[in-house]
Amino acid sequence: MRQGKGWPPALRPPRVARVTLSHDLAGTGPSTVVLLHSGVCDRRMWDAQFSALAEAGHRVVRCDLRGFGETPIDAPHTHAEDVRDLLDHLGADRAAVVGSSFGGEVALEFAARHPERVAALALLGSGMPGMEPSAELRAWGDRERDLLIAGDLDAAVELNVDTWLGPEAGEEARALVRRAQRHIFEVQLPVPDEHGPVDPEVARDELARIQAPALVAVGAHDLPDFRAVADELTRLLPAARRLDLDWAGHLPALERPEETARLLTAFLAEALEPAAP
């Protein structure tokens, strides 16, 4: 377990190569908001929320994590430290971090490792560091692996589209996930193991020390694993607020983009409101 701001020598993570994540920036407000995409998408999934949050008065950055979108993966890396380096590059000392699914897991690791840099968290169908998949989710992963081993990339892509999008997702959302997931497979499958992520373990008590206001949103049609994660995060995070979306599957930002933009705008307006003197 990490102690303080440094790493004990025996637990120090492997050396990683730094990179500036591909990103877009909009808005000129005093608060910075970072949008972290899911594991089946890239930064394009935030189109509606990116513009809406900028119009609401925030400085908004959306990025492609390594191996997604326009950011290559060619060296060992730590996603949370890549986010830190991006904020350093932008000159942002603190930010509100919004994460969808895998992006939520990265947001939580970043908040655990750099709590002083997190003004607020918004977690949508979030994963969680150290999350143990259920038998159902492991079976799904076995099915995806078998399709990829068989060389049936099309079927593996469709398996992801059908699994991760809820009943209200339109064809535009399905087409976006289809394109993004195919690109993810094409980029990540040839990558040697030594260039994979080296993210260290985050203990539950580290998450429980995150003091930033946190929105924990989850869809009624999401997989049971992620509803269970929402339950645990609601218990663990001291300043968590639970929001159940009766219409949503796993990716509300794509299923009802404008509604998701409104709920994020409302949460951040309250969470980032200056404290009364």
HEC readout, 146-174? HHHHCCCHHHHHHHHHHHHCCCCCCHHHH
pLDDT at 203: 86
Q: Minimal CA–CA distance to 267: which of 218, 213, 189?
A: 213
Retrieve residue 231's tokens: 């339950």
Assess if residue 266 is contained within a domain: yes
The answer as to whether 276 is a domain residue is no
Is 87 inside a domain boundary?
A: yes
* Over residues 74-94, mean pLDDT: 92
Give the type of residue at 200. Answer: P
Is residue 1 included in any domain, yes or no?
no
Range of the domain at 215: 9-271
CATH number at 37 reads 3.40.50.1820
Q: How far apart are CA 121 and CA 205, in angstroms?
A: 17
pLDDT of residue 10: 37
| pTM of the complete model | 0.91
Q: Report yes or no on 209 lying in a domain.
A: yes
The answer as to whether 80 is a domain residue is yes
Residue 117 falls inside a structural domain: yes
Residue 1 has pLDDT above 70, yes or no: no
Q: Is residue 186 part of a domain?
A: yes
Q: What is the pLDDT of residue 77?
A: 80
Could you give the number of structural domains in the chain? 1
